[in-house]
Amino acid sequence: MKIESLKIHNYKVFRNVEIRDIPNLAIFLGKNGTGKTTFFDIFGFLHDCLNSNVRTALAKRGGYKEVISREQTGDIEFVIKFRPADDEPLITYEISIGLDETGRAVVKKEILRFRRGQKGSPWKVLDFSMGEGIAAKGKLSSYEDVNLATREPQKLDSPDILAIKGLGQFKEFEAVATFRKLIEDWYVSDFRIDAARDRQEIEYSEHLTKSGDNLSSVTKFLYDNHPDIFTDIIEKMKQRVPGVEYVEAQETQDGYIVLRFQDGTFKNPFSSKYVSDGTIKMFTYLVLLHDPTQHALLCVEEPENQLYPQLLVELAEEFRVYADKGGQVFVSTHSPDFLNAVQLDEIYCFRKDNGFTTICKASDNTLIKSLYEAGELPGALWKQGLLMEV
């Protein structure tokens, strides 16, 4: 599953932004306050809209007036183009959120369509406004079925509910199910070293939480159920962190589970509270990136914090491997060392002008591209301030 383009209108600092040709691994670069965290929150906002409704999603962010771009009229709009797989048709999802005559937040427009080929009109799966519209009905097990399906009027229980959630016939339709998986399975890492380091109550956990506070439990799950993956993680830790020979998740008699790191120099392992922040963070990233079940979209903010610069090169490669396997990865960073490990056409630059943010692809700038092709590394271009002039 891959997002190919995203258009944003009137969402906080993004008054009118479009990014195209998004690769499997995309790097977002910008000064503090330019909106990198807000950009990641777009998927969190859609996640909340899908799980509950539009009004709840807005309320979590301070209400409609706090979300819509400052001093702007019109609606909050998103257009997402994606493919379930390389050989599948391009799917477009459009949503427009605004206020009705009573001042309540509603879905003013929601359209889902996909293109059969390079030419010809796209097939509409749904076209809704204010809780009512037309949707494909009947057997929807394949894309061809949509062409043959009838279009019938439908009505939702409330105008603040997404049609892709409220219409039962879409639950098993692959195009909608794939998009729902993207939004529901969106993951942004917010690792907190202290939370990952502390001992944790014994519980069953297969996947890391966003904070990493169940790291010990997930480590034990991988050791018990996926020994080959666990061995791979340990081998990478041995290569990247001097002295680390082994990591174990040990249960205590009082019902807790703690991580212990074995240093080859010493006989007894260390509790995780005695190892460095960088060691904990590298191990946490490896556990996340070796999850047997990949996230459809993985967002990581500033992975360079607490990590030795040399480790960033290897971490960038881990992100690339994860993306190549099918899980798209978005990373925000300020690190020249991390930038030196990625390609120019994977970098997007955020710049704020007159209160609003623009996003440009670094490789679209003629000067930047010529310097890169002449041998300049992206990290050097960033340090010189040239990428901020894109």
Average pLDDT in the 145-168 region? 81
Residue 143 has pLDDT above 70, yes or no: no
Q: What is the dihedral of CA 168, 169, 175, 176, to 10 degrees?
A: -20
Q: From CA 102, how far away is CA 18, in angstroms rounded?
A: 31
Residue 120 has pLDDT above 80, yes or no: no
Give the pLDDT band of residue 116 (cuts 50, 70, 90).
low
SS3 state at 203: coil
Q: What percent of the chain has pLDDT over 90?
A: 57
Q: From CA 263, how far away is CA 260, in angstroms rounded?
A: 10
Q: pLDDT at position 193, please?
A: 84
Which ranges in the chain are annotated with CATH 3.40.50.300? Answer: 188-342
78-82, 269-273, 334-338, 371-375: least confidently modelled range: 269-273
146-150, 287-291, 360-364: least confidently modelled range: 146-150
Containing 239, the helix (H) or strand (E) segment is: helix 227-240
Residue 229 main-chain phi, psi, to 5 deg:
-65, -45
How does pLDDT run across 41-54, given as a tens digit for each residue?
A: 999 999 999 999 99
How does pLDDT run across 192-202, given as a tens digit for each residue?
A: 888 887 777 77
Q: From CA 318, how far away is CA 68, in angstroms rounded?
A: 36
Average pLDDT in the 217-245 region? 90
SS3 state at 205: coil
Q: Are 80 and 6 in contact (CB under 8 A)?
A: yes
Q: pLDDT at position 25, please?
A: 97
Give the pLDDT band of residue 78 (cuts 50, 70, 90).
very high
Question: Strand 256-263 vs strand 270-271: parallel, antiparallel, or unpaired?
Answer: antiparallel
Q: Are 187 and 295 in contact (CB under 8 A)?
A: yes
191-205, 223-237, 297-311, 354-368: least confidently modelled range: 191-205
Give the pLDDT band of residue 29 (cuts 50, 70, 90).
very high
Give the pLDDT band of residue 90 (cuts 50, 70, 90).
confident
Name the superfamily (CATH) of residues 188-342.
Answer: P-loop containing nucleotide triphosphate hydrolases (3.40.50.300)
Burial of 376 (0-12, 13-18, 19+ CB in 10 A): middle
Q: What percent of the chain has pLDDT over 70?
A: 91
The b-or-e profile of 309-337 (16+ CB within 10 A means b, else e) is: eebbeebbebbbebbeeebbbbbbbebbb
Q: From CA 340, how far away is CA 330, in angstroms rounded?
A: 16
Task: Find where tokens 């978005």 sit.
Answer: 330
How does pLDDT run across 153-164, given as a tens digit for each residue?
A: 889 999 999 998
Q: From CA 31, how far away is CA 80, in angstroms rounded?
A: 25
Residue 80 Cα to chain centre, angstroms: 14
Segments of the chain assigned E as strands? 2-11, 14-19, 25-29, 76-83, 91-99, 105-114, 123-129, 132-137, 150-155, 186-189, 200-201, 244-251, 256-263, 270-271, 297-301, 328-333, 347-353, 356-361
Residue 111 main-chain phi, psi, to 5 deg:
-130, 135
Question: Strand 256-263 vs strand 200-201: parallel, antiparallel, or unpaired?
Answer: antiparallel
Q: From CA 16, how far away is CA 249, in angstroms rounded?
A: 48
What rounded mean pLDDT belongs to the chain? 88
Q: From CA 268, how far away is CA 145, in angstroms rounded?
A: 63
Which residue did the predictor score with more confidence, 143 or 384? 384
Give the pLDDT band of residue 56 (cuts 50, 70, 90).
very high
Domain 2-21+36-185 has CATH 3.40.1800: no
* Among 303, 252, 253, 273, CA closest to 196: 273
Q: pLDDT at position 276, please?
A: 84
Give the pLDDT band of residue 292 (cuts 50, 70, 90).
very high
- Single-letter amino acid code for the residue at 337: D
